[in-house]
Amino acid sequence: MKTGTQETSILIVDDEVSLRNTFRIFLQRAGYEHVLAVSSFDEALEAVSSQTFDLIICDIVLESHSGIDLLKRFRQLGIACPVVIVTGYPHVETASEAVRLGAFDYLSKPVEKESLLKTARLAIQQYRLEQEKRAAELAREGYRRFLEAVFRSVSDSIISVDKDCNILQMNQAAIQLFQTLQPEFSQGGHLTPLCKNKDLRQLADNTALVLKTGTEVIDHRMECFPDGTCTVLSICISPLDDGTGTPAGAVLVCRDMSHKEPLHIQQRTHFHRMIGASPAMQSVFLLIENIGRVDTSVLITGESGTGKELAVHALHQESPRRNHPLVMVDCTAIPENLLESELFGHKKGAFTGAEENRMGRILQADKGTLFLDEIGDISMAMQLRLLRFLQEKTFYPVGSDKEVHVDVRVVAATNVDLKEKVKAGNFREDLYFRLLIIDIHLPPLRDRDGDVEILAKHFLERFAGKMKKGITGISDQAMTMLCRYRWPGNVRQLEHVMERACILCASPTISSEDLPAELHSVAESPQAMTVSHIDKMIENHWQTVERRTLTEQERQATEKILAALQKAGGNKAKAARLLHIDRSTLYRKMHELHMDMDMFS
């Protein structure tokens, strides 16, 4: 922007040579170096088309045109600089017409030097102020548009409220977030109704506290469960200070800390020596991969026959200790009086029969993995020794006073409920929590949808090859029986059934006759409920829990779950997949909605 008289451009339009030269001399001597003087209407238009001016001084009488005509033409061309009209016959009509058309002022002839310079100075000063104002407004408008663009495009949810918690503005991310968290969401209004969902009430409470105290909330994390899955929001609330010391409002920024995209689990049927394609086993495979990298104690739980030893092998292979020993100890297979010596070793002569030094299983596993199976059955004394070892990673062999240090990862397994044993006083609570740093639960075979067929074919190939029998398949009827059975003995029982079938089979195909009697007892059981049975169960549920006793959100969630169960034929695992949630999440939601957990079982 131009500043100072030397950079100011002035145009003089007058058909009298003496007058325009006089004006030019006055202005140039006052420091205005860029002064152009022209004599006609056309020359003036040519001048303004080729350069810009900060001031135009124009005579009202110009040969074939008037100064008023020229002023009108300037305004049509969008020339905004001030125009001063010079007239020899001033009267009210001329002055009002000039001012109406946007003239800055008019000067009466004869024009005195001081009047000319004062009017020029005031006109240029006002023009500069107007330019600065327009520039500031343009900058402010540009900055406002920039902030609005940022406000709209930022992925975080932004909400601004006034001092009474009335919502001023929400960006698109906030609108989408609250539409997800609260189906009945409506934009605008007060913040409290927006947060009427019990998971969001703390958001409104924290905002009110910020407005009251003026202290901002930084990275406060809260959980929400809009569709049964956990959404973690990071909340930042900052007060808007208008200089009075009291917040004039607040800005809330919410960031979704959950996975932005569904976690894509690699689909596979084999993982080391473990086999399974069900969602439950895919989760186990992924868990073992992640835990394998972390060098900490692990507790593996699950019913007998679910494959805990195979999980240990997989965990060892996924760990940095894979090139070192994996030592397996079955705590129930070793007599109680020998278990201490077996684990910790002993010195020669430590007790009767100790004829030589013995390296215990723990030392054998140095730099590797030690697996303690059925740890829930060891004595209280052994539990104490094991706890000290897990804490210190040191021990004393039986009969030795020399401390031994080992670097070993301990993996324990049990098929009993250790929590119940702790309550009963049969298992040390401190040892339980020391083992429970990370746990892996192996699902029972009945909860592994689709895995029975894969495992049956795997065992068929293994035993048929081992027995050198040309068995190539399983009949549809036999496979249906295998899939319908509940398998209380889990994978181990299925393995034994398939071994028995291969022994008895006298043809290339295993038939239902080759399967044991307990599988035949469920052959007539339907694989899924009938449509009428499902409808009856749904009707019974609505009779037990009336719709009007539920909130709108609870009613919608209940209808959604019942529709999925109906579509899945009463199968909860399939219903959970239809809802895109884990089975455990489905069970939790059913419990929260007071739905009978035995429904459709």
Bridge partners (DSSP) of residue 394 are: 405
Residues 413-425: tens digit of each pLDDT: 998 888 888 998 9
pLDDT attached to residue 497: 94
Model confidence band, residue 309 (pLDDT cutoffs 50, 70, 90): very high
Average of per-residue pLDDT across 99-125:
84
Q: How many CA atoms lie within 13 A of 185 on its CB side?
A: 18
At position 463, the amino acid (one-letter code) is F
pLDDT attached to residue 249: 86
Residues 530-550: tens digit of each pLDDT: 555 566 666 666 666 665 567
**Which of the listed ranges 26-40, 60-74, 304-318 does the model predict with the highest average pLDDT?**
304-318
Nearby residues of 142 by Cβ (< 8 Å), 6 or more positions away: none
Tokens of 56: 């135009």
Measured CA to CA, the distance from residue 205 to residue 417 in angstroms comes to 41
Is the pLDDT at 365 greater than 60? The verdict is yes
DSSP 353-419: T--S-B--HHHHTTTSEEEEETGGGS-HHHHHHHHHHHHHSEE--BT--S-EE---EEEEEESS-HH
**How many CB atoms are located within 10 Å of the residue 529 CB?**
19
Instruction: Name the pairing type of β-strands 217-224 and 231-241.
Output: antiparallel
Under CATH, which number does the domain 270-443 receive?
3.40.50.300
| Angle formed by the axes of helices 476-484 and 490-504, nearest 10° | 150
Measured CA to CA, the distance from residue 77 to residue 71 in angstroms comes to 10
Bridge partners (DSSP) of residue 251 are: 160, 238
Equal CATH topology for 154-256 and 531-592: no
C-alpha to C-alpha distances, 382 to 249, 343, 419, nearest whole angstrom: 63, 10, 18
User: Long-range contacts of range 280-283, CB-CB < 8 Å, 24 or more positions apart?
Assistant: 280/443, 280/447, 280/448, 280/449, 280/583, 281/443, 281/448, 281/451, 283/582
- Peptide bond before residue 516 is cis, with ω within 30 degrees of 0: no
Measured CA to CA, the distance from residue 399 to residue 397 in angstroms comes to 6
Q: How many CA atoms lie within 13 A of 127 on its CB side?
A: 28
Indicate the CATH number of 154-256 among 3.30.450.20, 3.20.20.70, 3.40.50.720, 3.10.20.880: 3.30.450.20
Nearby residues of 82 by Cβ (< 8 Å), 6 or more positions away: 55, 56, 103, 104, 123, 124, 126, 127
Model confidence band, residue 517 (pLDDT cutoffs 50, 70, 90): confident
% of the chain with per-residue pLDDT over 70: 84
User: Is the Cβ–Cβ distance between 132 and 140 less than 8 Å?
Assistant: no
Bridge partners (DSSP) of residue 107 are: 86
Q: What are phi and psi of 412, to 5 degrees?
A: -115, 155
- Domain residue spans of the chain: 5-133, 154-256, 270-443, 446-520, 531-592
* Extended beta strands in 225-349, E state: 231-241, 247-256, 270-271, 274-275, 298-301, 326-330
For residues 91 and 455, which has the higher predicted lDDT (pLDDT)? 455
Bridge partners (DSSP) of residue 440 are: 300
Nearby residues of 134 by Cβ (< 8 Å), 6 or more positions away: none
For residues 491 and 344, which has the higher predicted lDDT (pLDDT)? 491
Note the Cα 312 to chain centre separation in Å: 32
User: Is the Cβ–Cβ distance between 388 and 396 less than 8 Å?
Assistant: no
pLDDT attached to residue 227: 60
Is the pLDDT at 325 greater than 80? The verdict is yes
Measured CA to CA, the distance from residue 405 to residue 393 in angstroms comes to 6
User: Is the Cβ–Cβ distance between 205 and 165 less than 8 Å?
Assistant: no
Measured CA to CA, the distance from residue 462 to residue 281 in angstroms comes to 21
User: Is the Cβ–Cβ distance between 502 and 460 less than 8 Å?
Assistant: yes
Residues 499-512: tens digit of each pLDDT: 999 999 999 999 98
Model confidence band, residue 438 (pLDDT cutoffs 50, 70, 90): confident
Top-tier CATH class for 531-592: mainly alpha
Under CATH, which number does the domain 446-520 receive?
1.10.8.60
pLDDT attached to residue 61: 76
pLDDT attached to residue 526: 45
Average of per-residue pLDDT across 63-91:
81
At position 46, the amino acid (one-letter code) is E
Tokens of 490: 């889990």
Give me the sign of the Cα torsion angle 63, 66, 69, 75: positive
CATH 3.40.1280.10 fits 5-133, yes or no: no
Residues 573-589: tens digit of each pLDDT: 778 878 878 776 787 78
Residues 5-20: tens digit of each pLDDT: 667 889 998 888 888 8
**Share of the chain residues as helix, strand and coil, in percent rounded to the nearest 5:** 45, 20, 35
Q: What are phi and psi of 547, to 5 degrees?
A: -60, -35
Residues 253-287: tens digit of each pLDDT: 888 777 555 445 567 889 999 999 998 899 999 99
**Which of the listed ranges 242-251, 461-470, 580-589 does the model predict with the highest average pLDDT?**
461-470
Tokens of 173: 């991310």
Q: What are phi and psi of 57, to 5 degrees?
A: -110, 120
Residues 154-167: tens digit of each pLDDT: 678 888 888 888 88
% of the chain with per-residue pLDDT over 90: 20
